[in-house]
Amino acid sequence: MFTLNCRGKLVVIEKPLVMGILNITNDSFYAGSRLQDPEAVLTRAGQMIADGADILDIGGQSTRPGSVRISEEAEMEKVLPAIEMLIKKFSAAIISIDTYHAAVAKSAVDVGASIVNDISGGTMDNNMLETVASLAVPYICMHMKGVPETMHHDPRYENITKEILDFFIKRINECRRSGIKDIIVDPGFGFGKTIEQNFILLKNLCLFKMLDTPVMAGISRKSTIYKTLNTEVGDSLNGTTVLNTLALQNGANILRVHDVKEAKEAVMLFEAYTKA
């Protein structure tokens, strides 16, 4: 069992949690997750909460392969009003800010976010770890090979599981030295990994338990699913549920998803199965 201190709200991970994705951008790889109108953000968040979302993950910067970066200021213009609006409407909600900019993380926490989710594990902004430590919030440390603009260009590993475990051992030590107390690791499915490499990671996900931190799996509707099935991203919900179930079997503590209801059902069935 793990616990996360989210600005005074204690989140206990006794069973797997579900994090709902709220992308305030027109460039997300999945069109169904693109939210720009404030009312649409509020409606989607409300539905996710009704469906049982434990955490809402808000991002204003697209990080799909080949995406184009926007400035910190533009990112703040997208996410800060949304976080303020959600906190006002859903005061008990646990909100994560999906950013690799320390300044965005600080501003987001200042207006109500209580988790920082960084795809770069602190490697794209040297101020990130110290900033998160000063904010005293949980930190999601993800592995990414390269940067979003080019990470899909022929990523190579000698032993992908070992290399990512080594990365996390080093980054967790850096996080601890900086003063971060609650750390979650995310292997970064699709971030500088081929389809085959993603399946190897999924198969070996249980090995990440040796890090003694919660493990997050974010594989929802990604190309590993729809390209393997020779379908489109819009038709990848069933495949997502299958891989989410495999992630749960291999020790995932948090599922980061576009479709909360189906993920919560997978968790419920997995819990019933493990207790039988």
**Domain ranges across the chain:** 14-275
Amino acid at 29: F
Nearest C-alpha neighbor of 261 from the set 217, 220, 204, 208? 220
Q: Is the pLDDT of residue 42 over 70?
A: yes
pLDDT at 109: 98
pLDDT in tens, 128-144: 999 999 999 999 999 99
Set 9, 256, 261, 275: catalytic member: 256
Q: Which of 74, 142, 77, 80 is nearest to 106 (CA)?
A: 80
Residue 26, both tokens: 């027109």
As a whole number, mean pLDDT of residues 96-101 equals 96
Tokens of 250: 């291999």
pLDDT (average), residues 169-186:
98
64 carries an active-site annotation: no
Q: Are strands 95-98 and 2-6 parallel, antiparallel or unpaired?
A: unpaired
Residue 7 has pLDDT above 90, yes or no: yes
pLDDT value of residue 253: 98
**Among candidate residues 59, 45, 58, the one with its CA nearest the CA of residue 91:** 45
Task: Tell me the mean pLDDT in the region 252-263.
Answer: 98
Across the beta sheet with 183-186, the strand order is 183-186, 139-142, 115-118, 95-98, 55-59, 17-23, 254-257, 216-217
What is the pLDDT at residue 24?
86
pLDDT digits (tens, 9 = 90+) for 78-97: 899 999 999 999 999 999 99
**Which one of the listed residues 222, 227, 261, 275 is annotated catalytic?**
222
CA distance 119 to 98: 8
Phi-psi region of 251 (alpha: psi -120 to 50; beta: other; left: phi over 0): left
Is residue 122 very low, low, confident or very high in pLDDT (cuts 50, 70, 90)?
very high
Q: pLDDT-derived band of residue 54, with 50, 70 and 90 as boundaries?
A: very high
**What is the pLDDT, as a whole number, of residue 198?**
96
pLDDT averaged over every residue in the chain: 92
Is pLDDT at 28 greater than 70 in this prediction?
A: no
- For residues 43 and 37, what is the distance between their CA atoms, to the nearest angstrom? 10
Integer Rg of the chain from CA: 17
**140-169 residue pLDDT tens:** 999 998 776 665 667 889 999 999 999 999
Q: What CATH number has the domain spanning 14-275? A: 3.20.20.20
Output the DSSP codes for 118-175.
ETTTTSS-TTHHHHHHHHT--EEEE--SS-TTTTTS----SSHHHHHHHHHHHHHHHH
pLDDT of 34 > 90? The answer is no
pLDDT (average), residues 250-258: 98
Residue 176 annotated among the catalytic residues of the structure: no
Q: Which residues pair with 11 in a beta bridge?
A: 4
Q: How much is the pLDDT for 156?
A: 86
CA torsion sign for 185, 215, 36, 137 is negative
Comparing 67-71, 154-158, 183-187, 219-223, the range with the smallest average pLDDT is 67-71
**Amino acid (one-letter) located at 233:** V
65 pLDDT exceeds 80? no
Task: Provide the 3-class DSSP secondary structure of residue 215.
Answer: strand
User: CB pairs under 8 A, 24+ apart, for 144-150?
Assistant: 144/119, 144/120, 144/188, 144/191, 144/192, 145/191, 145/192, 145/193, 146/192, 148/62, 148/63, 148/64, 148/65, 148/66, 148/67, 148/69, 148/119, 148/191, 149/66, 149/67, 149/68, 149/69
